[in-house]
Every structure is written in C-alpha cells, then in structure tokens.
Amino acid sequence: MMVETKNDLRAFLAALYRIAVETAHPAAFLPRLLPAAPSGRVIILAAGKAAGSMAETAENYYLDRLALPAERLCGVAVARHGYGRPTRIVSMIEAGHPVPDAAGLKAAERAIELADDANAGDLVLVLVSGGASANWIAPASGVSFADKQAVTRALLRSGAHIGEINTVRKHLSRIKGGRLARHAVPASIVTIAISDVPGDDPAVIGSGPTVPDPSTLAEARAIVGKYKLVLPPAIATALNNAANESPKPNDPAFAGSRFVLAARPADSLQAAAEAVRSAGYDCISLGPDVEGEAREVALAHAAMARDLRAQGRRAVIISGGELTVTIRGRGEGGPNQEYALALVGALAGMPHVAAIAGDTDGTDGGGGAATDPAGAIVDGDSQARARALGLDPAAFLANNDSTGFFAKMGDLLEPGPTYTNVNDFRAIVIERP
C-alpha cells in the first residue's frame, strides 16, 4: 500500500491509534479471564480509567452468561470523570484524576467497607487499571485529604516518573500498596489488571492495592528529597511513621490472592505492528517501555526518522511507555502533546513524514475533563504552516503550551473517553517521495 498524500499519512496513523486502543478494551479480553462464580457473593471492586467498562463487562458475564442471582453480586466502581458506564448493580462513581477529589474519597471508603464485609466463600474481584491511584483515595491516619491533594500536585509537577509517584502515594494510603488485600481476608481475592506502566509491575499498576509492595518508607522519603518537594508537615510525619510501611510478600493477606495481567501496552503495540507490516512498511518497534523527558525523546525519534528517510526506507517507528514533562511554563498540555510539539521543529522540511502521539485512555494532561485531548498529529509541513499562521512552535514549547499550539493548528487528537488505558502510543511514518 502506497500512501499518496499527507492526509493519507495522517489517516493511517489515526487508524494505528484506534487499533492500539481497541486491542486493550475490556470487552476484547475480560470475559475469558473471569473466575467461576463462588459459593458466596461476587464483590466487584474496580478502579481506574477502565473501571466502568471492566465492571460492566464483568456484570454481564456473571448475571447473563452464568445466570448468577442478582443478590449475589455487589460492588463499586470508580473511574475518572466522564469515564463512567451504565452498570446495573455495581455502584458507578466518577472521580477526579490526576488530582483526587471527594468522590474518590467516597469510592475508596465504600470499597474498603465492602472488602471488610467479605466472608469465606465470597470472591472479591478487584479490577484495576491506570488511574486507580488517583481514583482510590484513602489517606493514612493523620494525613488529611488536602494533604494528599498537595502531594499529588507536587509529584505531578516535579517530573517524577510513575513508579516514584506511586511509591510515595502507597505509603500515605489505607488502600494502596497491598492494603486492600488485608481488608478482604478471609475471602478469595482475584485481581485482574490492565497495565499502563513500563514493565507491567503489579505493584505499580494502580499502586498495587492487592499485591505485596517491595517499596519502602525510606524510598518514599528519598523521592521527596530527590525532587526537593515542599510538602505539608503531616506528610513528613507520616513518611517517618513505621506504621505506614506497606505489607511485604510474607504477609498472610496474600495467601488467598491471585493476580492476572490482562492487557499490556506490549499487546497493543504488537497489534499496531501487525497493521504496519500488513500495509507494506518496515516496522521499527522501540518497545512498550520508553521513558524520559518528552521533548528529548522526540528529538531522538526524529533523528531515527531522518536516518530511515536517508536510507530510502518505507517504515513506521512505533513506541509505547510513559514520558514525563518537567513544567517550567504556564501553558497546558501533556507528555504526548509536548512530544508532538517537539517533533514540529525536528521533522520540519521532511515531506511524506508524519507522526502521532496519544494516550490510549483518550486524555493527555489537561484539566481533568473527559474532553481533554489525547495527543496530537504532526507532519513535516507543520512548522511552515504554523509560521504562516503567525505561530512560533519553539515559544509554545518553552511555555509548555502544547494544547494551545495544537488547538490553533487544528491538530489535536480528540477521541474522547476510550474506557481503557495501556499508556502512550506513538508512531512516526516515513513514506518514500
């Protein structure tokens, strides 16, 4: 397949993004992974951006396919605002992300209550996806809700990667870092997770509410020091309190617990790679775990694209992972948009080249609305077109205002809520002239 025009390149990239998202939707994989109905109740506890779709799919499986009596199913699901689904029995709550709000506090308290009420013979089905760390907010003793919000804001602005952020949050919580499993004893616990983190570490996905936590209070304190975070006094006190150490692998709470990794960034990347090859391109996959400062990664990827073009190859560079942005300006945006904005200059003057960067959950940074953009699409003509409109891409980049730039360009990627989350998807297509 020869892609003839710039618009064809953009449409091809948008199709790759859709393939990555659809591969990770719970309807595609969850039914075959759900455990058999127990002798007692099925208690569904779901959190994260896919919580609504996962709970909805699980409800349909137990109520319709297994004909489980409705009185033997209960639960609560919490997802980002705008990501709720029409569940029948499970209570659906929409809450703040990335900064938690009171709705997340309510959802976490309800999840803890249901777990505490679980008995032997019950199944506590925990459905976790990216965003659960912000959606399940249960501050440790002595830490206020406002304190937790302050910590989250400080961590998000610091440039800390997701593993570091979750290490701190797990030691300030009554539900994260394996603590939910303690509440669910003596019931059986099955956790099914959609990964949105590099390496797919169960202890990092959603801050690992039902798995042993290898991180420590000392590591959490070191992260605070590394980024020179100025935090409320109560946070320092909590991080020095041995009672807030998270449960480790030998904790008896994990004896009746099973963890299933259901969908991974690698799965979505593989599906996109197959589509790339089917279209007749060479596929250069950089893997699902790319990390780093968004603008720096963009420059490295652009250099690869220039090399491939110089070799005369028809190719697509694909990558996943989670990039970071160290905020120095006053603009709006997220890692995918900042990556794309950095590409505007780096790909300038390269016809027949285009790129897409988008978060598979449908939103990238922004103010927390479901309508926030997921990313952006650019090509080798973007810089010239921006200058014709009186826009300076470098100035917008310096102000961390990628959303402002792409809104004026009409190049935002805006799919709306996808009801899943397997992290970022990026692709650069290089077509022969």
Location of each CATH 3.40.1480.10 domain in the chain = 6-23+266-430
What proportion of the chain, given as a percentage, has pLDDT over 70?
A: 99
What tens digit of pLDDT does each residue of 42-75 get? 999 999 999 999 999 999 999 999 999 999 999 9
Task: Return mean pLDDT, the chain.
Answer: 95
In three-state secondary structure terms, 171 is coil
**Is the backbone of residue 147 left (phi > 0), alpha (psi -120 to 50) or beta?**
alpha
What is residue 197's predicted lDDT score, i.e. its pLDDT? 85
The domain at 26-264 falls in which architecture? 3-Layer(aba) Sandwich (3.40)
In three-state secondary structure terms, 161 is coil
- Residue 138 and residue 222 in contact, taking contact as beta carbons nearer than 8 Å: no
Q: b/e for 350-384, b at 16 or more Cβ within 10 A?
A: bebbbbbbbbbbbbbbbebebebbbbbbbbbbbbe
Location of each CATH 3.40.50.10180 domain in the chain = 26-264
Residue 4 banded pLDDT, cuts 50, 70, 90: low
What is residue 3's predicted lDDT score, i.e. its pLDDT? 47
Residue 1 banded pLDDT, cuts 50, 70, 90: very low
Beta-bridged to residue 78, according to DSSP, are 47, 93
First to last CA, the chain: 14
This prediction has a pTM of 0.89
Q: Higher pLDDT residue, 326 or 79? A: 79
What tens digit of pLDDT does each residue of 346-379 get? 999 999 999 999 999 999 977 778 889 999 999 9
Mean pLDDT confidence for 121-138: 95
What proportion of the chain, given as a percentage, has pLDDT over 90?
A: 90
Q: Write out the H or E segment, with its range, that includes residue 345.
A: helix 335-346
CATH superfamily of 6-23+266-430: MOFRL domain (3.40.1480.10)
Mean pLDDT confidence for 29-34: 97
